[in-house]
Structures are given as C-alpha cells and as structure tokens.
Amino acid sequence: MQPPIRNRSLKSIAIASGKGGVGKTNVAVNLSVSLARMGRSVMLFDADLGLANADLLLGLRPTKSLHDLVTGTADSLEEILVEGPDGLLLVPSASGIGSMANLSPVEHAGLIRAFSTYEKPLDVLIVDTAAGVQDSVTSFCQAVQHVFIVVCDEPASLTDAYALIKVLHQEHGLRRFRVICNMLRTPESGRRLMQKLSSVCLQYLPDVLLEASAMIPMDDHLRHAVQKRTPVVSLYPGSPSGRALIDLAKQADRWSTGEIGLGGIGFFVERMLQSA
C-alpha cells in the first residue's frame, strides 16, 4: 500500500527559459508523461498564467482551472484536476490571475488550504512556467528543488536564459541549474551552446553551477506530435526527440528529493506564495 502523502517525499521540478517558444511546455509535458509511464504519480502544474497550453499538448479539455480555486468557484484541488495518460494529473493554468503576488489574503489562504488538504500520493510535481523573468516565474522556480533552463541556439535565447539565471541567483539565492539544449541542428551546436552559457556564467556569476542535462535535436516528429495533440514520447517514442526526452525522465527519476520534499505539495504552494 502507498504511504500517505505527508510521509512520502515529493520531487519538484520547474521548467523555465527566459525566452518564449524554446520548448518548455513540450519538455514539461513529455517529462511528465514519461515519468508517469515509469510508474510515478505525477502532477503537472501549468504555471503559464498568460498562455496556458499544456492541456492542448496533452489533448485534454479542462473545464476548471487554478483560477476557480483562487476565486472560490472550486473548493478542492480534485475539482480542477484533469487526468491525462498513465494517470498523470494536470493542474490547468489560471489565466486571469496575472500574478500570484496579487492574491488577497483570503485567496492566498484558500489556495494553500486546497493544496495542503490534497491527500493522494504523489511522487513528482512538474511546473511549466511562462516566458520572461516576471515574479510568477521566479516564485515558482524558488519553490521547487530542481530548475531546468531550456535554451536553443539563438542569441536571444542565450541572453534571456542568462538574464533569468542572474535574477534567480542574485535575487533569490538559487545556485544550481540544469540546462536543456533544445531544437539542435547538430550535436556540436549543443556543445557550443552549453559552452557559451557556461563561460558567461563563470565570468559574471562564478557561484552558479550549470549542468548539461539534455541535448534534444530539432525533430519533425515533435512538431507532428504537437499537431496531433499527443506527446512525442507517446506517439514516436523511438524518434530522436522522443529518446532524448525519455532519457531525461530516467535521469530526473534518479535525483533525490531532499528535505523540502517531505512537506509535499502543500509545502510547495506555501513556499511559492511566500516568495511571490
């Protein structure tokens, strides 16, 4: 029998990038589906408060969202959750909230209550964040144990990734970042990209630890999967991007949860709201 959630530790991972359109949502969705397929209880939190689309990539149609929890039209987390492949649970985004920093004390307390009374066992929480360096992104990144930064081989992607790392490090004290190089035309371009980001961090943010976690090729299978509203790891698991994303999930499955994981999802939401 699964132990109750309070005694089970939760691994929490945020996917961020700085620049938009570099593949965050695809990484978040495919990582979630791969971990769920490996037998983990996974919750995917769509934290893009502007342009939510994790539901689209999963072919799901939520009727409620985090917005209903905040405004009180939903009382519990269960009411808004939507089930995806292999039991994966999606927390649909709260378009309309704008920022977690603007919540009233009542909304704030309601959100914490809804998450902390959630009793079902959960192993992994994956948070898909919006583009940019706004408060909502930094507060989500600060609340998790592991942060992925997605970059692609474009100057704007590199400068925006660096800007986000700088804010998270200097203003929020984060030190360790795991880098995902996406949409790579050649393996060599991934190595060069990683080298450029590492050298600028080494020069200006010497305490930051960067780790290359995945090299995901530019892959038409992934584009086709997006059009089919099915994750590439389900539709084309043997494709170049599918294999890279499944390997990433195996890697993430080996990470430790640390002490903050013991507080479960209620603790994650408290940390997120404290930093908002």
Which chain residues interact with ligand ATP by CB under 6 A? Answer: 17, 20-26, 48, 51, 131, 182-183, 216, 218-219, 222-223, 226, 241
Burial label, 127 (beta-carbon count in 10 A; 0-12, 13-18, 19+): buried
Q: Which does 222 bind (CB under 5 to 8 A by kind): ligand ATP, Mg ion, none?
A: ligand ATP
Shortest distance, CB of residue 59 to Mg ion, whole angstroms?
A: 16
Angstrom distances, CA of residue 81 to CA of 97, 145, 162, 224: 18, 23, 34, 27
Helices and strands per DSSP (H, E), number in the chain:
12, 8
Positions that interact with Mg ion (CB under 5 A)? 24-25
Shortest distance, CB of residue 246 to ligand ATP, whole angstroms?
A: 14
d(CA 192, CA 182): 13
For ligand ATP, which is the closer residue by CB, 46 or 123? Answer: 46
Nearest CA-CA partner of 13 in 214, 234, 155, 195: 214
Q: Which amino acid is at 255?
A: W
Q: Which two tokens stand for residue 17?
A: 């990038």
Q: Which does 223 bind (CB under 5 to 8 A by kind): ligand ATP, Mg ion, none?
A: ligand ATP
Shortest distance, CB of residue 29 to ligand ATP, whole angstroms?
A: 8
User: Which residue has the closest beta carbon to ligand ATP?
Assistant: 20
The dihedral formed by the CA atoms of 261, 264, 265 and 266, expressed in degrees to the nearest 10? -120
Q: Which does 182 bind (CB under 5 to 8 A by kind): Mg ion, ligand ATP, none?
A: ligand ATP
User: Which residue has the closest beta carbon to Mg ion?
Assistant: 25
For ligand ATP, which is the closer residue by CB, 49 or 216? Answer: 216
Burial label, 179 (beta-carbon count in 10 A; 0-12, 13-18, 19+): buried
For Mg ion, which is the closer residue by CB, 5 or 126? Answer: 126
Q: Which does 226 bind (CB under 5 to 8 A by kind): ligand ATP, Mg ion, none?
A: ligand ATP
Q: Which two tokens stand for residue 232?
A: 């590439």
For Mg ion, which is the closer residue by CB, 12 or 25? Answer: 25
